[in-house]
Amino acid sequence: MNAIVQPVKQFKTEQIQHATDDPRWVRYTLISVSLSFILLFLFLPLGLVISKAFASGWQAYWDALSEPDAQAAIRLTVLAAFITVPLNTVFGLASAWAITRFEFPGKSLLTTLIDLPFSVSPVISGVIFVLLFGAQGWFGEWLIAHDIKVIFAVPGIVLATLFVTFPFVARELIPLMQEMGSEEEEAALSLGASGWTTFIKVSLPNIKWALLYGVLLCNARAMGEFGAVSVVSGHIRGITNTLPLHVETSYNEYNSVAAFAGASILAGLAIVTLVLKSFLEWKQGRRL
Amino acid sequence: MSILIENISKHFGQFAALDHINLEIPDGELVALLGPSGCGKTTLLRIIAGLESADEGRIFLSGEDKTSQHVSRRGIGFVFQHYALFRHMTVFDNVAFGLRVKDKKERPSETDIAKKVHNLLELVQLDWLHDRFPDQLSGGQRQRIALARALAVEPSVLLLDEPFGALDASVRKDLRQWLRNLHKELHVTSIFVTHDQEEAMEVASQVVVLNKGHIEQQGAPADIYDHPANAFVSKFIGQTNVLNLNEDNVIWLKTAGIAVDDSKGNVAHIRPHDIDVKKADADSDSPVTLKDWQHLGSLIRVELYRPQDNGSGTYLFAEMPNERFKLLQLNKGDRVALHIKHAHWFNS
């Protein structure tokens, strides 16, 4: 009754250009544009930073980094990161958990607000803290009366860094945890595990690469933040200068070796971050 | 362990997912919660497990009130539709999980755990996969591992949420049979949720039909099929032809051999296999013609068309064994005579 369905004769595939392929010239133009852009705006400045830092030789480079103000700047940068990164890790985990696992009023508002530091200029983030804790600020009088210094002191720098970097961990975790759902956790609970055991043995292993990725980005930003910290720091050499601020101060004083030596450390941090980042991306890609 | 569900209600916003459900499940049964999607069956299962809390009502397991007990203390085994295996653990570690998280006092030694895990993996016939990760397994294998994992803690009740829903049709068929045999072996009281009436009939010893947050009927599969309590159950369990008892249909039903008694209801449901089809004699005035047929394996489904006075017409479906259809030697467009052996009556 029906004609028998027969396979169509096979065409030779190599002669056919795939329907979804762009023409060759489009591909090559796009590739060369992006490559030359990277070359011009990334590798050229990076090379310049390194060559300037070593312009007066190894010894001058070493001296510029070991002078007390530079050392203090490095210590302060590490301290700020040391405080903010763990705090933001905990905050990021808690908020990602809350957003992906619970229903509560104001949930979408919280999701939006987490991104706020990304959409606001860092200078404004700094000014917020001056308005709150500065001498003329809301809490200014109370702080002076109790002899607590926030602005132009280490607490201000930590607060500003904290504010600027808090989205990183949460933003990495929320989409992942949304996609994974909570079935594995429910399974663990139904097998008799406590909430804590479930978190340690089931939730954390599933999100660990994304978490590390977020922590890494958070750390890079905490160490490199300039704008917000600049407003609250007051640029007191050896006391409230972080490494990025130290670079700027040195540069303004025409001490280019010191400036570029500091910059080379930040650039090195960036490269290490990039390498770790690709490693974590690869790990995460393999797991999921 | 017996399960008693007393007056359970659950709302999601304005939507009543469950409306005062009362249900008793005796020890050792394998019960299917059957209903269309959105009928509340999964919600009910999750409330029994303690993964969801009811707005009102109580849950008793073996007579003990478990309503406010945390899921981790209820002693239930839960099997998820999408397996929910721990993806970073091997098959062995997955099954061992429930034993390893026990309190120190109750926790078996690692050698005992290993022995038990291997026994369970043998029970589900997958011990040879013990060092694989979940993403290296097929869907059917994953679901069997998930079942072994749930059984490891020796649950008093086993709850399965659409356990075969994500599997291929052929794997599903195998696993149904396998689950029924496993239940015969273990006798653990089990409830499984499904929207597939065939699956419910095939696997369960008791079927509970749910619709819009209500229980429509509860009983053995055969009872529900042969004596549906209402029009919904009749339509949901198996195929059925629905005829409104207007004047025209009443006359026609009488000629087809069914005595119409309108005190029983105003709608007749007729199962396809309750319609006998044969070639109409030349002198018969039967207006029904054969439109088409489909081959369902051992059965043939016949599409029948009955023109009506007002110019429209109705389609009817009948089923008969393959052999019989061949003997009838029917062609498309042939006039056929029908004899209806049995009908159910409902009010709608």
Residues of B with Cβ-Cβ distance to A206 under 8 angstroms: 87-88
What ipTM describes this predicted complex? 0.85
| pLDDT(B309) > 80 | no
Q: Is the CB of B72 inside 8 Å of chain A's CB atoms?
A: yes
Residue with structure tokens 């369960």? B204
User: How many pairs of residues across A and B have Cβ atoms under 8 Å apart?
Assistant: 68
Q: Answer yes or no: are the C-beta atoms of B56 and B31 closer than 8 Å.
A: no
CB contact under 8 A, A191 and B101: yes
**B76 contacts on A by Cβ (under 8 Å):** 190
Confidence of residue A288 (pLDDT cuts 50, 70, 90): very low
Interface test with A, best of B11, B46, B66, B72 (most A CBs within 10 A): B72
Q: Rounded to the nearest 5 degrees, what angle is found at the Cα of A166, between the Cα atoms of A160 and A172?
A: 155
Which of B82, B88, B153 faces A191 most closely, judged by CB atoms?
B153
Task: Tell me how close the Cα of A208 comes to any Cα of chain B, in angstroms.
Answer: 11
Quick one: which of B77, B76, B56 has its CA closest to B67?
A: B56
The residue of chain B with its CA nearest to that of A190 is: B72
Window 165-204 of A, Cβ < 8 Å to B = 183-184, 186-194, 197, 201-202
Residue A19 has pLDDT above 80, yes or no: no
H helices then E strands: how many in chain A? Answer: 16, 0
Our CA-based measurement puts residue B151 at a distance from the nearest CA of chain A, in whole angstroms, of 9
Q: Does B233 touch chain A (CB under 8 A)?
A: no
pLDDT at A17 over 90: no
- State whether B78 and A190 contact (CB < 8 Å): yes
**What pLDDT shows up at residue A20?**
76
> HSE (CB half, 13 Å, CA atoms) of A194?
4
A187 and B86 in contact by Cβ < 8 A?
Answer: yes
Burial of B312 (0-12, 13-18, 19+ CB in 10 A): exposed
**Mean pLDDT lowest for which of B121-125, B157-161, B199-203, B312-316?**
B312-316
pLDDT of residue A16: 60
Q: Produce one character per residue of B106-118: b if its CB has 16 or more CB atoms within 10 Å, e if not.
A: eeeeeeebeebbe
How many angstroms separate the CA atoms of A219 and B198, rounded?
Answer: 57
Contact A191 B87 (CB under 8 A): no
Q: What is the overall mean pLDDT for chain B?
A: 89
When pLDDT is cut at 50, 70 and 90, the band that residue B109 belongs to is very high
Q: What percent of chain B has pLDDT over 90?
A: 53
Distance, in Å, from the CA atom of B103 to the CA atom of B106, rounded to the nearest integer, reads 6
Query: Which residue in B has a C-alpha nearest to residue A183's C-alpha?
Result: B84
Q: Which residues contact A108 (CB under 8 A, 6 or more apart)?
A: none
User: What is the mean predicted confidence (pLDDT) over A50-55?
Assistant: 86
Distance CA(B94)–CA(B97), nearest Å, equals: 5
In chain A, residues with a C-beta closer than 8 Å to the C-beta of B49 are: 190
- The DSSP string of A218-282 is HHHHHHH--HHHHHHH---TTTT--HHHHHHHHHHTT-HHHHHHHHHHHHHHHHHHHHHHHHHHH
pLDDT confidence of residue B266: 85
Quick one: pLDDT at residue B22? 94
Whether the per-residue pLDDT at B283 is higher than 80: the answer is: no
- Type of residue numbered A128: I
- Strands B206-211 vs B214-219: parallel, antiparallel or unpaired: antiparallel
Q: How far apart are CA B194 and CA B327, in angstroms?
A: 38
| pLDDT confidence bin for A56, thresholds 50/70/90 | confident
Average pLDDT of span A216-245: 88
A121 touches chain B (CB under 8 A): no
Residue B71 has its nearest CB partner, among A184, A189, A197, at A189
Nearest to A249 by CA among A49, A59, A73: A73
Asked if B72's CB is within 8 angstroms of A189's CB, the reply is yes
| Band (A101; pLDDT cuts 50, 70, 90) | confident
With CA atoms as reference, the chain B residue closest to A194 would be B72
What pLDDT, on the 0 to 100 scale, is given for residue B96?
95
* Pick from B84, B87, B153: CB nearest A192: B153
Contact B86 A189 (CB under 8 A): no
- Number of other residues whose CB lies within 10 A of the CB of residue B78: 28
Q: Which of B257, B286, B204, B222 is nearest to B32 (CA)?
A: B204
Count of C-beta atoms within a 10 Å radius of residue B38: 14
Structure tokens of A90? 């905990």
CB contact at 8 A, B292 and B332: yes
Q: What is the mean pLDDT of residues A244-251?
A: 90
Distance, C-alpha A121 to centroid of its chain? 15
Q: Which residue of B12, B42, B52, B71 is the best one to mutate when testing the A interface, meaning the one whose CB has the most A CBs within 10 A? A: B71
Q: Which of A186, A197, A287 sits opposite B84 (nearest CB)?
A: A186
Residue of B nearest to A202 (CA): B86
Contact A101/B at CB under 8 A: no
Determine the distance from the C-alpha atom of residue A233 to the mean position of all C-alpha atoms in its chain, rounded to a whole number.
21
Q: How far is CA A57 from CA A21, A52, A64, A249, A262, in A?
A: 52, 10, 11, 21, 15
Residue closest to B278 by CA, chosen among B322, B335, B235, B227: B335
Task: Look up residue A140 and give its two tokens.
Answer: 């200014």
Percent of the residues in chain B that have a pLDDT greater than 70, as a whole number: 100
> In the prediction, which pLDDT does B94 show?
95
Nearest-by-Cβ selection for A193 from B72, B74, B82: B72
Contacts of B70 in chain A (CB under 8 A): 189
Query: Nearest CA to CA, how far is B196 from chain A (Å)?
Result: 23
pLDDT at position A14, please?
A: 57
Q: Is the pLDDT of residue A4 over 80?
A: no
pLDDT surpassing 60 at residue B271? yes
Instruction: Check if the beta carbon of residue B82 is closer than 8 Å to that of residue B162.
Output: no
Least confident of B33-42, B51-60, B306-315: B306-315
For the stretch B70-84, pLDDT in tens is 988 898 999 998 999
Contacts of B73 in chain A (CB under 8 A): 192
- Tokens standing for residue B333: 């467009």
Whether the pLDDT of residue B40 is over 80: the answer is yes
Distances in Å between the Cα of A99 and the Cα atoms of A107, A198, A269, B110, B128 are 6, 18, 32, 38, 40
Residue B61 in this model has a pLDDT that exceeds 60: yes
Q: Which residue do the tokens 């369970």 mark?
A: B120
Q: Are B221 and B238 in contact (CB under 8 A)?
A: no
With pLDDT > 90 as the criterion, what percentage of chain A qualifies?
32
3-class secondary-structure state, position B65: strand
Range scoring the smallest mean pLDDT among A108-117, A136-145, A222-231, A262-271: A136-145
Mean pLDDT score, A197-226: 91
State how far the Cα of B53 lies from the Cα of B42, in Å rounded to an integer.
Answer: 13
pLDDT value at residue A148: 83
User: Which pLDDT tens digit goes with each residue over B158-209?
Assistant: 999 999 888 888 888 888 888 898 899 888 999 999 999 989 999 999 999 9
Name the band, by pLDDT with cuts 50, 70 and 90, for residue A273.
confident
Interface mutation target, options A176, A184, A190, A198, chain B, most CBs of B under 10 Å: A190
Contact at CB, A193 and B97, closer than 8 angstroms = yes
pLDDT at B110: 92
Retrieve residue B95's tokens: 């099954």
pLDDT of residue A37: 92
Given the structure tokens 């061992």, which residue do they identify? B96
Q: Is residue B79 within a helix (H) or strand (E), and if so which, with residue range?
A: strand B76-79
Chain A contact present for B73, CB below 8 A: yes
Task: Give the pair of three-digit tokens for residue B34.
Answer: 């059957």
Distance of CA A79 to the CA centre of its chain: 17
Short-list B174, B173, B208, CA closest to B190: B208
CA neighbor of B162 nearest in space, from B34, B26, B19, B24 = B34
* Contact list, A190 vs chain B (CB under 8 Å): 49-51, 71-72, 74, 76-78, 150
- Residue pLDDT, tens place only, A155-203: 899 999 999 998 999 999 999 999 888 899 999 999 999 989 999 999 9
Whether B247 has a pLDDT exceeding 90, the answer reads no
Q: Which residues have a Cβ under 8 Å from the Cβ of B141 and sit 6 or more positions away?
A: B126, B129
Chain B, 275 to 314: residues with Cβ < 8 Å from chain A are none
- The answer, yes or no, to whether residue A13 has pLDDT greater than 80, is no
Give A191's contacts in chain B (Cβ within 8 Å). Answer: 72, 77, 97-98, 101, 149-150, 152-153
A183:B153 CB<8 A: no
**pLDDT at B301 exceeding the cut of 90:** yes
**Interchain contact B86–A (C-beta under 8 A):** yes
Stretch A54-82: mean pLDDT, rounded?
A: 90
